[in-house]
Amino acid sequence: MRRFLHGLPGVDAVGLEQRAASLGTRSIKTSSKQWALEKIIRLIDLTTLEGADTPGKVRSLVSKAKHPDAADPTCPPVAAVCVYGDMVGHAVDALGAAHGDPDDGAISVAAVATAFPSGRASLDIKLADTADAVAAGADEIDMVIDRGAFLTGNYGLVFDQIVQVKEACRRADGTYASLKVILETGELNTYDNIKRASWLAILAGGDFIKTSTGKVQPAATLPTTLLMLETVRDWHRLTGERIGVKPAGGIRSSKDAVKYLVTVAETTGEEWLQPHLFRFGASSLLNDVLLQRQKITTGHYSGADYVTID
């Protein structure tokens, strides 16, 4: 594993950041503004991950997920709600008939697991944490890797833990909850490490690679997300398999979210702009997207609020 990961071509940091900056200035047509905003909504994992979370707070989150703009029934729902494992049952109950596959317009339930956000627990506890969330109805598991093991070069341990967590995602009927592997890129220090961790997570069976927990700074950045998108693009070219990418943490404005949409479309292709292949991990982002959407639908819109559009 070490020979393979260290044999990967090194990342040209300057070139990567220049590409990300260039993509961040790309424009979309004026007629596409509302499409872009509604696409962002459909790709959001609406999140509450606080120690003070209660069943009532989760029910309120689900209500917002189902009807983001209570005054506009044409507003689409988000892709998923993301909660701690002990809140999964409350989220499933609150969703009711709206619970299902976000690619079909429904809302899935994602649960953070494996001693989120630190990952500092025994493997048995991590596996039990995962299995309990899946048994409660979680459709997706967001796990954290052992960054300490990764940074000391113990890639085999990280690989084996992802493999075993993936198996803990197995349901009684033989299907699996989708596994998002959180790299916590802000703690990996270098682009080369982020690239290695991305490849490791994919090789171990992750369905998504995710930048961050949102609890560590820096969280998601455009260059880091671009690097991860390039990795899943290369994997798809090698194997034909599509892996998802989820930037999480720090994406708060519609303007920034549109930059990510453009980066996805230009790097992996527009087919990645669907819930089973791309997500935003965000809470405050939704409020700004709704504000911009309302400006368009009511006619009170200023182009200055958006990425430059040709």
Q: What are the CA-CA distances from residue 226 to residues 11, 220, 278 (Å)?
A: 12, 10, 12
Closest CA to 271 of 245, 251, 253: 245
Catalytic site residue from 146, 210, 259, 288: 210
Q: How far is CA 308 from the centre of its chain?
A: 25
Q: If phi over 0 gives left and psi between -120 and 50 gives alpha, with beta otherwise, what is residue 12?
A: beta
| Beta carbons within 10 angstroms of residue 168's beta carbon | 24
Q: How far apart are CA 15 and CA 102, in angstroms?
A: 35
- Compute the distance between CA of residue 156 and CA of residue 273 in angstroms, rounded to an integer: 32
What single-letter DSSP state applies at residue 307? S
The verdict on whether omega for the bond into residue 218 sits within 30 degrees of 0, i.e. cis, is: yes
How far out from the chain centre does Cα 192 lie? Answer: 21
Catalytic annotation present for 29: no
Among the options 39, 166, 246, 259, which is catalytic? Answer: 246
142 part of the active site: yes
Q: Spell 204-239 as b/e; 16+ CB within 10 A means b.
A: bbbbbbbbbbbeeeebbbbbbbbbbbbbbbbbbeee
Q: Which residues contact 49 (CB under 8 A, 6 or more apart)?
A: 82, 83, 84, 112, 116, 117, 214, 215
Among the listed residues 129, 142, 207, 288, the single catalytic one is 142
Query: DSSP readout, 126-172?
Result: HHHHHHHHHHTT-SEEEEE--HHHHHTT-HHHHHHHHHHHHHHTB-T
Does 210 qualify as catalytic in the annotation?
Answer: yes
Annotated catalytic sites, by residue?
142, 210, 246
